[in-house]
Structure 1
Protein backbone atom coordinates (compact mmCIF):
# COMPACT_ATOMS: atom_id res chain seq x y z
CA UNK A 1 0.00 0.00 0.00
CA UNK A 2 1.53 3.27 -1.15
CA UNK A 3 0.42 6.34 0.76
CA UNK A 4 1.33 10.03 0.92
CA UNK A 5 3.67 10.84 3.78
CA UNK A 6 3.14 14.67 3.69
CA UNK A 7 1.07 17.16 1.72
CA UNK A 8 2.00 17.79 -1.89
CA UNK A 9 2.40 21.17 -3.56
CA UNK A 10 2.33 21.06 -7.33
CA UNK A 11 3.78 24.58 -7.56
CA UNK A 12 6.88 23.34 -5.67
CA UNK A 13 7.24 19.87 -7.15
CA UNK A 14 4.88 18.69 -9.88
CA UNK A 15 6.50 15.29 -10.74
CA UNK A 16 7.89 12.37 -8.74
CA UNK A 17 9.65 9.20 -9.99
CA UNK A 18 9.72 6.36 -7.43
CA UNK A 19 11.88 3.26 -7.70
CA UNK A 20 9.93 0.52 -5.85
CA UNK A 21 11.69 -2.75 -4.94
CA UNK A 22 9.94 -5.92 -3.78
CA UNK A 23 12.01 -8.48 -1.74
CA UNK A 24 11.09 -12.07 -0.68
CA UNK A 25 12.14 -13.63 2.58
CA UNK A 26 14.11 -16.60 1.18
CA UNK A 27 17.77 -17.22 1.35
CA UNK A 28 19.25 -15.92 -0.79
CA UNK A 29 16.81 -13.03 -1.05
CA UNK A 30 15.20 -12.52 -4.43
CA UNK A 31 13.88 -9.08 -5.51
CA UNK A 32 12.41 -7.13 -8.36
CA UNK A 33 12.08 -3.37 -9.07
CA UNK A 34 9.46 -1.14 -10.64
CA UNK A 35 9.61 2.55 -11.64
CA UNK A 36 6.50 4.49 -10.62
CA UNK A 37 5.95 7.94 -12.16
CA UNK A 38 3.62 10.29 -10.29
CA UNK A 39 2.26 13.60 -11.72
CA UNK A 40 0.80 15.95 -9.16
CA UNK A 41 -2.44 17.38 -10.52
CA UNK A 42 -3.26 21.03 -10.00
CA UNK A 43 -5.97 22.34 -7.72
CA UNK A 44 -6.92 25.99 -7.47
CA UNK A 45 -4.98 26.86 -4.34
CA UNK A 46 -3.23 30.04 -5.53
CA UNK A 47 -4.88 33.40 -6.20
CA UNK A 48 -3.76 35.47 -9.19
CA UNK A 49 -1.48 38.41 -8.46
CA UNK A 50 -0.87 41.68 -10.29
CA UNK A 51 2.76 42.53 -10.95
CA UNK A 52 2.21 46.04 -9.51
CA UNK A 53 0.03 47.37 -6.70
CA UNK A 54 -0.44 50.64 -8.57
CA UNK A 55 -0.11 51.57 -12.23
CA UNK A 56 0.27 55.14 -13.53
CA UNK A 57 -0.54 56.31 -17.04
CA UNK A 58 -1.18 59.50 -19.01
CA UNK A 59 -3.55 60.14 -21.90
CA UNK A 60 -4.28 63.27 -23.91
CA UNK A 61 -7.73 64.79 -23.55
CA UNK A 62 -8.01 64.87 -27.36
CA UNK A 63 -7.42 61.10 -27.68
CA UNK A 64 -10.09 59.37 -29.77
CA UNK A 65 -12.24 56.61 -28.35
CA UNK A 66 -10.37 53.30 -28.40
CA UNK A 67 -6.95 54.75 -27.59
CA UNK A 68 -4.80 52.36 -25.52
CA UNK A 69 -3.88 53.91 -22.18
CA UNK A 70 -1.94 51.16 -20.37
CA UNK A 71 -1.73 47.39 -20.01
CA UNK A 72 -1.99 45.72 -16.62
CA UNK A 73 -0.65 42.19 -16.09
CA UNK A 74 -1.11 39.48 -13.50
CA UNK A 75 0.11 35.89 -13.07
CA UNK A 76 -1.26 32.72 -11.48
CA UNK A 77 0.84 29.76 -10.33
CA UNK A 78 -1.98 27.34 -11.09
CA UNK A 79 -2.40 25.58 -14.43
CA UNK A 80 -5.16 24.93 -16.87
CA UNK A 81 -8.52 26.49 -16.26
CA UNK A 82 -7.38 27.48 -12.80
CA UNK A 83 -4.76 29.72 -14.34
CA UNK A 84 -6.97 31.32 -17.01
CA UNK A 85 -7.17 34.98 -16.04
CA UNK A 86 -9.93 37.51 -16.71
CA UNK A 87 -9.46 41.26 -16.19
CA UNK A 88 -12.40 43.37 -15.05
CA UNK A 89 -13.26 47.06 -14.58
CA UNK A 90 -16.59 47.32 -12.73
CA UNK A 91 -19.43 49.07 -14.54
CA UNK A 92 -19.95 52.71 -13.62
CA UNK A 93 -16.38 53.20 -12.39
CA UNK A 94 -14.80 56.46 -13.61
CA UNK A 95 -18.07 57.30 -15.37
CA UNK A 96 -17.40 54.40 -17.77
CA UNK A 97 -14.70 56.46 -19.51
CA UNK A 98 -12.47 53.37 -19.81
CA UNK A 99 -12.84 49.71 -20.76
CA UNK A 100 -10.46 46.77 -20.44
CA UNK A 101 -9.69 43.84 -22.70
CA UNK A 102 -10.63 40.89 -20.50
CA UNK A 103 -7.92 38.63 -21.90
CA UNK A 104 -4.96 40.95 -22.45
CA UNK A 105 -5.45 43.53 -19.70
CA UNK A 106 -5.23 46.46 -22.12
CA UNK A 107 -7.11 49.53 -20.86
CA UNK A 108 -8.68 51.68 -23.59
CA UNK A 109 -10.64 54.95 -23.69
CA UNK A 110 -14.38 54.35 -24.05
CA UNK A 111 -15.55 57.96 -24.21
CA UNK A 112 -14.23 61.45 -24.93
CA UNK A 113 -12.14 63.07 -22.19
CA UNK A 114 -12.06 66.65 -20.93
CA UNK A 115 -9.23 67.62 -18.60
CA UNK A 116 -11.11 70.72 -17.48
CA UNK A 117 -13.96 68.44 -16.37
CA UNK A 118 -11.73 65.85 -14.65
CA UNK A 119 -7.94 65.72 -14.67
CA UNK A 120 -7.22 62.42 -12.85
CA UNK A 121 -9.09 59.11 -12.80
CA UNK A 122 -8.51 56.32 -10.28
CA UNK A 123 -9.55 52.86 -11.47
CA UNK A 124 -9.77 49.70 -9.40
CA UNK A 125 -9.01 46.81 -11.76
CA UNK A 126 -9.71 43.19 -10.78
CA UNK A 127 -8.34 39.91 -12.08
CA UNK A 128 -9.91 36.51 -11.43
CA UNK A 129 -8.86 32.96 -12.25
CA UNK A 130 -10.96 30.37 -14.08
CA UNK A 131 -12.14 28.19 -11.19
CA UNK A 132 -15.40 28.36 -9.28
CA UNK A 133 -15.45 29.89 -6.84
CA UNK A 134 -12.73 32.07 -8.32
CA UNK A 135 -9.79 33.74 -6.62
CA UNK A 136 -9.34 37.51 -7.15
CA UNK A 137 -6.71 40.20 -6.94
CA UNK A 138 -6.99 43.96 -7.47
CA UNK A 139 -4.77 46.87 -8.41
CA UNK A 140 -5.17 50.64 -8.73
CA UNK A 141 -4.64 52.46 -12.02
CA UNK A 142 -4.08 56.22 -11.85
CA UNK A 143 -4.72 57.93 -15.20
CA UNK A 144 -3.77 61.58 -15.69
CA UNK A 145 -5.48 63.44 -18.52
CA UNK A 146 -2.99 65.68 -20.34
CA UNK A 147 -4.07 69.16 -21.38
CA UNK A 148 -4.46 70.44 -24.93
CA UNK A 149 -5.05 74.10 -25.68
CA UNK A 150 -8.78 73.86 -26.29
CA UNK A 151 -9.89 76.96 -24.35
CA UNK A 152 -9.46 80.66 -25.09
CA UNK A 153 -8.82 83.16 -22.28
CA UNK A 154 -11.83 84.94 -20.77
CA UNK A 155 -11.87 88.46 -19.30
CA UNK A 156 -14.77 87.72 -16.99
CA UNK A 157 -16.00 90.91 -15.28
CA UNK A 158 -12.78 92.96 -15.58
CA UNK A 159 -13.76 94.47 -18.92
CA UNK A 160 -15.88 97.60 -18.43
CA UNK A 161 -15.93 101.35 -19.16
CA UNK A 162 -13.72 103.75 -17.18
CA UNK A 163 -13.93 107.41 -16.18
CA UNK A 164 -10.64 109.25 -15.70
CA UNK A 165 -10.18 112.91 -14.60
CA UNK A 166 -8.21 114.93 -17.10
CA UNK A 167 -4.74 116.22 -16.23
CA UNK A 168 -4.09 113.29 -13.87
CA UNK A 169 -0.48 112.22 -13.40
CA UNK A 170 0.87 109.05 -15.00
CA UNK A 171 -0.65 106.20 -12.98
CA UNK A 172 -2.31 102.78 -13.13
CA UNK A 173 -6.01 103.32 -13.80
CA UNK A 174 -7.22 99.73 -14.15
CA UNK A 175 -6.15 96.07 -14.27
CA UNK A 176 -7.61 93.67 -16.80
CA UNK A 177 -7.61 90.01 -15.78
CA UNK A 178 -8.15 87.11 -18.18
CA UNK A 179 -8.26 83.49 -17.05
CA UNK A 180 -7.77 80.31 -19.06
CA UNK A 181 -9.20 76.93 -18.08
CA UNK A 182 -6.23 75.11 -19.59
CA UNK A 183 -3.04 74.40 -17.66
CA UNK A 184 0.70 75.07 -18.02
CA UNK A 185 1.75 77.17 -21.00
CA UNK A 186 -1.75 76.81 -22.41
CA UNK A 187 -3.09 78.90 -19.52
CA UNK A 188 -0.39 81.61 -19.42
CA UNK A 189 -1.86 84.88 -20.71
CA UNK A 190 -0.21 88.03 -22.11
CA UNK A 191 -1.94 91.37 -22.73
CA UNK A 192 -1.55 93.94 -25.53
CA UNK A 193 -3.43 97.04 -26.73
CA UNK A 194 -4.59 96.32 -30.27
CA UNK A 195 -6.41 99.57 -31.08
CA UNK A 196 -7.74 102.95 -29.94
CA UNK A 197 -4.53 104.09 -28.24
CA UNK A 198 -4.47 107.55 -29.84
CA UNK A 199 -1.15 109.35 -29.31
CA UNK A 200 -0.01 106.39 -27.17
CA UNK A 201 -1.62 107.86 -24.09
CA UNK A 202 -2.06 104.40 -22.56
CA UNK A 203 0.33 101.56 -21.76
CA UNK A 204 -0.45 97.98 -20.72
CA UNK A 205 1.79 95.62 -18.74
CA UNK A 206 2.33 92.51 -20.85
CA UNK A 207 1.99 90.08 -17.94
CA UNK A 208 0.02 91.76 -15.14
CA UNK A 209 -2.62 93.48 -17.27
CA UNK A 210 -2.10 96.83 -15.47
CA UNK A 211 -3.43 99.67 -17.65
CA UNK A 212 -1.67 103.02 -17.14
CA UNK A 213 -2.59 106.44 -18.46
CA UNK A 214 -0.57 109.57 -19.22
CA UNK A 215 -2.20 112.96 -18.48
CA UNK A 216 -5.29 113.40 -20.67
CA UNK A 217 -6.93 116.52 -22.06
CA UNK A 218 -10.71 116.28 -22.36
CA UNK A 219 -10.83 119.32 -24.61
CA UNK A 220 -8.57 117.48 -27.12
CA UNK A 221 -10.06 113.95 -26.92
CA UNK A 222 -13.05 113.38 -24.61
CA UNK A 223 -13.26 109.58 -25.09
CA UNK A 224 -10.93 106.72 -26.02
CA UNK A 225 -12.07 103.34 -27.30
CA UNK A 226 -9.37 100.84 -26.37
CA UNK A 227 -9.22 97.31 -27.80
CA UNK A 228 -7.23 94.99 -25.51
CA UNK A 229 -6.23 91.45 -26.44
CA UNK A 230 -5.48 88.55 -24.08
CA UNK A 231 -3.57 85.69 -25.72
CA UNK A 232 -2.43 82.38 -24.25
CA UNK A 233 0.92 80.72 -24.98
CA UNK A 234 -0.48 77.46 -26.36
CA UNK A 235 0.29 76.11 -29.82
CA UNK A 236 -1.78 77.10 -31.62
CA UNK A 237 -2.64 80.00 -29.32
CA UNK A 238 -6.10 81.35 -28.55
CA UNK A 239 -7.04 84.96 -27.88
CA UNK A 240 -9.98 87.14 -26.86
CA UNK A 241 -10.66 90.88 -27.20
CA UNK A 242 -11.88 93.37 -24.60
CA UNK A 243 -13.37 96.75 -25.57
CA UNK A 244 -12.91 99.47 -22.94
CA UNK A 245 -14.33 102.99 -23.29
CA UNK A 246 -12.31 105.58 -21.33
CA UNK A 247 -14.29 108.77 -20.68
CA UNK A 248 -12.17 111.80 -19.73
CA UNK A 249 -13.81 113.77 -16.93
CA UNK A 250 -13.66 117.56 -17.11
CA UNK A 251 -11.65 119.85 -14.84
CA UNK A 252 -12.04 123.63 -14.87
CA UNK A 253 -8.75 124.20 -16.65
CA UNK A 254 -9.88 126.65 -19.36
CA UNK A 255 -10.69 130.40 -19.11
CA UNK A 256 -13.74 131.77 -20.89
CA UNK A 257 -12.91 133.50 -24.19
CA UNK A 258 -14.95 136.23 -25.88
CA UNK A 259 -15.90 135.71 -29.50
CA UNK A 260 -14.28 139.07 -30.28
CA UNK A 261 -11.31 140.70 -28.68
CA UNK A 262 -13.01 144.10 -29.01
CA UNK A 263 -16.63 145.23 -29.37
CA UNK A 264 -17.90 148.68 -30.43
CA UNK A 265 -21.37 150.24 -30.44
CA UNK A 266 -23.03 153.66 -30.74
CA UNK A 267 -26.19 155.03 -29.16
CA UNK A 268 -27.95 158.38 -29.20
CA UNK A 269 -27.67 160.60 -26.14
CA UNK A 270 -31.40 160.63 -25.70
CA UNK A 271 -31.81 156.89 -25.52
CA UNK A 272 -34.28 155.67 -22.96
CA UNK A 273 -33.44 153.50 -20.00
CA UNK A 274 -33.03 149.78 -20.79
CA UNK A 275 -32.24 150.50 -24.44
CA UNK A 276 -30.18 147.62 -25.87
CA UNK A 277 -26.69 148.68 -26.77
CA UNK A 278 -24.90 145.47 -27.80
CA UNK A 279 -24.60 141.77 -26.95
CA UNK A 280 -21.27 140.24 -26.02
CA UNK A 281 -20.67 136.50 -26.18
CA UNK A 282 -18.03 134.28 -24.57
CA UNK A 283 -17.36 130.51 -24.64
CA UNK A 284 -15.64 128.07 -22.29
CA UNK A 285 -14.14 124.77 -23.55
CA UNK A 286 -14.92 123.04 -20.28
CA UNK A 287 -18.23 121.27 -19.76
CA UNK A 288 -21.05 121.20 -17.27
CA UNK A 289 -20.90 123.73 -14.49
CA UNK A 290 -17.31 124.51 -15.48
CA UNK A 291 -18.56 125.99 -18.77
CA UNK A 292 -21.36 128.15 -17.28
CA UNK A 293 -20.53 131.82 -17.89
CA UNK A 294 -21.58 134.87 -15.87
CA UNK A 295 -21.20 138.38 -17.34
CA UNK A 296 -20.51 141.54 -15.37
CA UNK A 297 -19.35 145.13 -15.96
CA UNK A 298 -16.55 147.03 -14.26
CA UNK A 299 -17.20 150.22 -12.35
CA UNK A 300 -15.80 152.28 -15.24
CA UNK A 301 -19.34 152.57 -16.69
CA UNK A 302 -20.36 154.95 -13.87
CA UNK A 303 -23.60 152.94 -13.61
CA UNK A 304 -24.77 154.26 -16.99
CA UNK A 305 -24.87 150.73 -18.43
CA UNK A 306 -25.78 147.32 -17.15
CA UNK A 307 -25.31 143.76 -18.49
CA UNK A 308 -27.49 140.70 -18.20
CA UNK A 309 -25.32 138.24 -16.27
CA UNK A 310 -26.68 135.30 -18.23
CA UNK A 311 -27.17 136.52 -21.81
CA UNK A 312 -24.45 139.19 -22.10
CA UNK A 313 -26.92 141.85 -23.34
CA UNK A 314 -25.74 145.37 -22.43
CA UNK A 315 -28.46 148.01 -21.94
CA UNK A 316 -28.63 151.60 -20.76
CA UNK A 317 -29.06 152.15 -17.05
CA UNK A 318 -28.90 155.94 -16.78
Structure 2
Protein backbone atom coordinates (compact mmCIF):
# COMPACT_ATOMS: atom_id res chain seq x y z
CA UNK A 1 0.00 0.00 0.00
CA UNK A 2 1.38 3.43 -0.95
CA UNK A 3 0.79 4.94 2.48
CA UNK A 4 2.62 2.13 4.27
CA UNK A 5 5.60 2.31 1.90
CA UNK A 6 5.85 6.09 2.21
CA UNK A 7 5.34 5.91 5.93
CA UNK A 8 8.09 3.32 6.26
CA UNK A 9 10.47 5.39 4.16
CA UNK A 10 9.74 8.49 6.15
CA UNK A 11 10.20 6.72 9.47
CA UNK A 12 13.65 5.50 8.46
CA UNK A 13 14.73 9.10 7.84
CA UNK A 14 12.98 10.46 10.95
CA UNK A 15 15.09 11.64 13.93
CA UNK A 16 15.57 9.18 16.76
CA UNK A 17 14.55 11.71 19.39
CA UNK A 18 10.80 12.00 20.05
CA UNK A 19 9.05 14.64 17.98
CA UNK A 20 5.67 15.84 19.18
CA UNK A 21 4.57 16.48 15.60
CA UNK A 22 4.92 12.81 14.71
CA UNK A 23 3.77 11.10 17.90
CA UNK A 24 0.24 10.45 16.65
CA UNK A 25 0.99 8.05 13.80
CA UNK A 26 -1.48 5.61 15.30
CA UNK A 27 -4.24 8.17 15.88
CA UNK A 28 -7.37 8.26 13.78
CA UNK A 29 -6.91 9.68 10.29
CA UNK A 30 -10.08 11.78 10.26
CA UNK A 31 -9.67 14.10 7.31
CA UNK A 32 -8.89 13.79 3.61
CA UNK A 33 -6.44 16.16 1.97
CA UNK A 34 -8.04 19.04 0.11
CA UNK A 35 -6.62 20.98 -2.81
CA UNK A 36 -6.60 24.75 -2.45
CA UNK A 37 -9.46 26.74 -3.93
CA UNK A 38 -6.91 28.32 -6.25
CA UNK A 39 -6.39 24.97 -8.01
CA UNK A 40 -6.79 25.84 -11.73
CA UNK A 41 -9.07 23.88 -14.03
CA UNK A 42 -7.16 24.89 -17.17
CA UNK A 43 -3.61 26.11 -17.74
CA UNK A 44 -1.70 27.02 -20.90
CA UNK A 45 1.88 25.92 -21.46
CA UNK A 46 4.08 26.94 -24.39
CA UNK A 47 5.62 23.97 -26.13
CA UNK A 48 9.17 25.34 -25.91
CA UNK A 49 9.14 25.49 -22.10
CA UNK A 50 12.40 23.78 -21.12
CA UNK A 51 12.62 20.48 -19.27
CA UNK A 52 12.64 21.11 -15.53
CA UNK A 53 10.70 24.36 -15.78
CA UNK A 54 7.90 24.88 -13.27
CA UNK A 55 4.43 24.94 -14.77
CA UNK A 56 2.20 25.56 -11.75
CA UNK A 57 2.12 25.02 -7.99
CA UNK A 58 -0.70 22.70 -6.93
CA UNK A 59 -1.04 23.09 -3.19
CA UNK A 60 -3.21 21.12 -0.77
CA UNK A 61 -3.72 20.89 2.97
CA UNK A 62 -4.88 18.38 5.57
CA UNK A 63 -6.17 19.34 9.01
CA UNK A 64 -4.86 16.14 10.58
CA UNK A 65 -1.51 16.25 12.37
CA UNK A 66 1.62 14.16 12.12
CA UNK A 67 1.75 11.52 9.42
CA UNK A 68 -2.02 11.78 9.02
CA UNK A 69 -1.51 15.31 7.75
CA UNK A 70 1.73 14.78 5.83
CA UNK A 71 1.02 14.96 2.09
CA UNK A 72 2.51 13.52 -1.09
CA UNK A 73 1.52 14.47 -4.64
CA UNK A 74 1.40 12.28 -7.75
CA UNK A 75 0.09 12.39 -11.31
CA UNK A 76 -2.26 9.43 -11.25
CA UNK A 77 -3.47 9.57 -14.86
CA UNK A 78 -3.62 11.41 -18.15
CA UNK A 79 0.09 11.59 -18.90
CA UNK A 80 0.90 8.44 -20.84
CA UNK A 81 3.75 10.26 -22.62
CA UNK A 82 5.41 11.21 -19.30
CA UNK A 83 5.65 14.87 -20.32
CA UNK A 84 5.08 16.15 -16.78
CA UNK A 85 6.11 15.30 -13.26
CA UNK A 86 4.91 16.63 -9.93
CA UNK A 87 7.27 17.16 -7.03
CA UNK A 88 6.07 14.63 -4.48
CA UNK A 89 6.66 16.91 -1.52
CA UNK A 90 5.80 20.38 -2.81
CA UNK A 91 3.10 19.81 -5.45
CA UNK A 92 5.03 21.78 -8.06
CA UNK A 93 4.19 20.58 -11.57
CA UNK A 94 7.28 20.47 -13.80
CA UNK A 95 8.08 19.72 -17.43
CA UNK A 96 9.61 16.23 -17.44
CA UNK A 97 10.29 15.61 -21.15
CA UNK A 98 10.16 18.02 -24.15
CA UNK A 99 6.70 19.12 -25.26
CA UNK A 100 5.57 19.08 -28.89
CA UNK A 101 2.24 20.70 -29.75
CA UNK A 102 2.33 19.19 -33.23
CA UNK A 103 2.26 15.73 -31.61
CA UNK A 104 -0.07 16.39 -28.67
CA UNK A 105 -1.74 19.74 -28.01
CA UNK A 106 -3.77 18.88 -24.91
CA UNK A 107 -3.46 16.82 -21.74
CA UNK A 108 -5.96 16.13 -18.98
CA UNK A 109 -3.94 15.26 -15.91
CA UNK A 110 -5.41 13.55 -12.90
CA UNK A 111 -3.49 14.96 -9.94
CA UNK A 112 -3.86 13.13 -6.63
CA UNK A 113 -2.70 14.11 -3.17
CA UNK A 114 -2.37 11.42 -0.48
CA UNK A 115 -1.82 11.69 3.22
CA UNK A 116 0.40 9.19 5.05
CA UNK A 117 -2.24 8.10 7.52
CA UNK A 118 -3.55 4.58 7.93
CA UNK A 119 -6.07 4.10 6.51
CA UNK A 120 -4.83 6.40 3.82
CA UNK A 121 -7.00 9.20 2.48
CA UNK A 122 -6.66 11.10 -0.77
CA UNK A 123 -8.25 13.64 -3.09
CA UNK A 124 -7.96 14.05 -6.84
CA UNK A 125 -8.51 16.91 -9.28
CA UNK A 126 -8.42 17.10 -13.07
CA UNK A 127 -6.11 19.64 -14.67
CA UNK A 128 -6.48 20.50 -18.37
CA UNK A 129 -3.16 21.50 -19.90
CA UNK A 130 -3.30 23.24 -23.28
CA UNK A 131 -0.06 23.29 -25.21
CA UNK A 132 0.56 26.56 -27.03
CA UNK A 133 2.46 26.83 -30.30
CA UNK A 134 6.06 27.97 -30.57
CA UNK A 135 7.71 28.70 -33.89
CA UNK A 136 9.73 25.50 -33.94
CA UNK A 137 8.99 24.32 -37.49
CA UNK A 138 10.33 25.90 -40.66
CA UNK A 139 8.35 25.78 -43.91
CA UNK A 140 8.89 22.60 -45.90
CA UNK A 141 8.69 22.55 -49.71
CA UNK A 142 6.70 19.69 -51.21
CA UNK A 143 9.52 18.96 -53.67
CA UNK A 144 13.29 18.88 -53.28
CA UNK A 145 13.68 21.01 -56.41
CA UNK A 146 11.70 22.33 -59.39
CA UNK A 147 12.55 22.55 -63.08
CA UNK A 148 10.82 23.98 -66.10
CA UNK A 149 11.53 24.57 -69.78
CA UNK A 150 10.05 27.59 -71.51
CA UNK A 151 10.42 29.39 -74.80
CA UNK A 152 12.20 32.69 -75.08
CA UNK A 153 9.02 33.95 -76.74
CA UNK A 154 6.97 33.33 -73.61
CA UNK A 155 4.87 36.47 -73.05
CA UNK A 156 5.54 38.69 -70.05
CA UNK A 157 3.10 37.85 -67.25
CA UNK A 158 2.95 34.12 -68.09
CA UNK A 159 2.87 31.72 -65.13
CA UNK A 160 5.63 29.13 -65.56
CA UNK A 161 5.54 27.09 -62.32
CA UNK A 162 4.07 27.08 -58.82
CA UNK A 163 6.06 26.08 -55.75
CA UNK A 164 4.26 24.93 -52.63
CA UNK A 165 5.20 24.36 -49.02
CA UNK A 166 3.64 23.63 -45.64
CA UNK A 167 4.35 24.67 -42.05
CA UNK A 168 3.09 22.67 -39.07
CA UNK A 169 2.98 25.68 -36.76
CA UNK A 170 -0.17 27.66 -35.97
CA UNK A 171 -1.25 31.24 -36.64
CA UNK A 172 1.42 33.62 -37.93
CA UNK A 173 4.02 30.95 -37.18
CA UNK A 174 2.49 28.83 -39.94
CA UNK A 175 1.76 31.58 -42.50
CA UNK A 176 4.16 31.39 -45.45
CA UNK A 177 5.41 34.10 -47.80
CA UNK A 178 7.53 33.41 -50.90
CA UNK A 179 10.35 35.38 -52.48
CA UNK A 180 13.08 34.90 -55.07
CA UNK A 181 16.54 35.02 -53.51
CA UNK A 182 18.48 36.04 -56.61
CA UNK A 183 19.68 39.10 -58.42
CA UNK A 184 17.29 38.87 -61.36
CA UNK A 185 14.49 41.01 -62.69
CA UNK A 186 13.40 38.49 -65.33
CA UNK A 187 11.04 36.63 -63.01
CA UNK A 188 8.67 37.41 -60.17
CA UNK A 189 6.89 35.27 -57.61
CA UNK A 190 3.52 35.80 -55.98
CA UNK A 191 4.35 35.94 -52.27
CA UNK A 192 1.04 34.31 -51.32
CA UNK A 193 0.58 31.58 -53.95
CA UNK A 194 4.17 30.74 -54.91
CA UNK A 195 3.39 31.17 -58.62
CA UNK A 196 6.47 32.19 -60.64
CA UNK A 197 5.83 34.43 -63.67
CA UNK A 198 7.85 35.95 -66.47
CA UNK A 199 8.49 39.60 -65.59
CA UNK A 200 10.59 40.78 -68.54
CA UNK A 201 11.10 39.62 -72.11
CA UNK A 202 13.51 36.66 -72.29
CA UNK A 203 16.44 36.29 -74.69
CA UNK A 204 18.08 32.88 -75.01
CA UNK A 205 21.13 34.29 -76.78
CA UNK A 206 21.84 36.61 -73.86
CA UNK A 207 20.95 34.28 -71.00
CA UNK A 208 20.03 30.67 -71.89
CA UNK A 209 19.78 29.26 -68.33
CA UNK A 210 18.60 30.58 -64.98
CA UNK A 211 18.86 28.82 -61.64
CA UNK A 212 16.60 30.57 -59.16
CA UNK A 213 16.63 30.15 -55.40
CA UNK A 214 13.15 30.50 -53.92
CA UNK A 215 12.61 31.15 -50.22
CA UNK A 216 9.59 30.29 -48.08
CA UNK A 217 9.49 32.28 -44.83
CA UNK A 218 7.01 32.01 -41.99
CA UNK A 219 5.52 35.16 -40.48
CA UNK A 220 6.25 34.71 -36.78
CA UNK A 221 5.79 37.97 -34.87
CA UNK A 222 7.10 37.33 -31.37
CA UNK A 223 9.81 34.84 -32.31
CA UNK A 224 12.50 34.65 -35.00
CA UNK A 225 11.09 33.86 -38.43
CA UNK A 226 12.20 30.59 -40.01
CA UNK A 227 12.98 30.16 -43.69
CA UNK A 228 13.60 27.31 -46.14
CA UNK A 229 14.83 27.49 -49.73
CA UNK A 230 14.46 25.42 -52.88
CA UNK A 231 16.06 25.66 -56.33
CA UNK A 232 14.15 26.24 -59.53
CA UNK A 233 16.64 24.68 -61.92
CA UNK A 234 17.21 24.35 -65.64
CA UNK A 235 15.12 27.22 -66.88
CA UNK A 236 16.12 26.59 -70.50
CA UNK A 237 14.81 28.79 -73.28
CA UNK A 238 13.95 26.85 -76.43
The alignment's TM-score, normalised by the length of structure 2, stands at 0.72
Of 116, 121, 126 in structure 1, the residue corresponding to residue 112 of structure 2 is: 126
Q: CA shift at 1:54, angstroms?
A: 5.8
Alignment of 1:27-38 (within 5 A): none
Alignment of 1:70-219 (within 5 A): 70-76=56-62, 78-90=64-76, 93-157=79-143, 159-169=145-155, 170-195=157-182, 197=184, 200-214=185-199, 216-219=202-205
Q: CA shift at 1:79, angstroms?
A: 4.9
Does the Cα contact within 8 Å between 2:86 and 2:94 map onto a contact in 1? yes
Does the Cα contact within 8 Å between 2:57 and 2:93 map onto a contact in 1? yes
How many residue pairs get matched? 207
Aligned to 1:82, the other structure's residue is in SS state helix
| Structure 1 segments unaligned to the other structure (5+ residues) | 1-41, 251-318
Over 3 Å counting, the alpha-carbon distance change for 1:221 and 1:174 in structure 2 is same
Per the alignment, residue 48 of structure 1 pairs with 33
1:13-67 Cα offsets, whole Å, 9 max, x none, are xxxxxxxxxxxxxxxxxxxxxxxxxxxxx84454333347863223333333321
- Counterpart CA distance in 1 for 2:228 and 2:95 is 32
Once superposed, what is the RMSD of the aligned Cα atoms?
A: 2.9
Per the alignment, residue 47 of structure 2 pairs with 61
The alignment's TM-score, normalised by the length of structure 1, stands at 0.56
The structure that has the greater radius of gyration is 1
Does the Cα contact within 8 Å between 2:139 and 2:217 map onto a contact in 1? yes
Per the alignment, residue 227 of structure 1 pairs with 213
Does the Cα contact within 8 Å between 1:128 and 1:134 map onto a contact in 2? yes
Aligned to 2:173, the other structure's residue is in SS state helix
1:242-298 Cα offsets, whole Å, 9 max, x none, are 111253453xxxxxxxxxxxxxxxxxxxxxxxxxxxxxxxxxxxxxxxxxxxxxxxx
1:285-315 Cα offsets, whole Å, 9 max, x none, are xxxxxxxxxxxxxxxxxxxxxxxxxxxxxxx
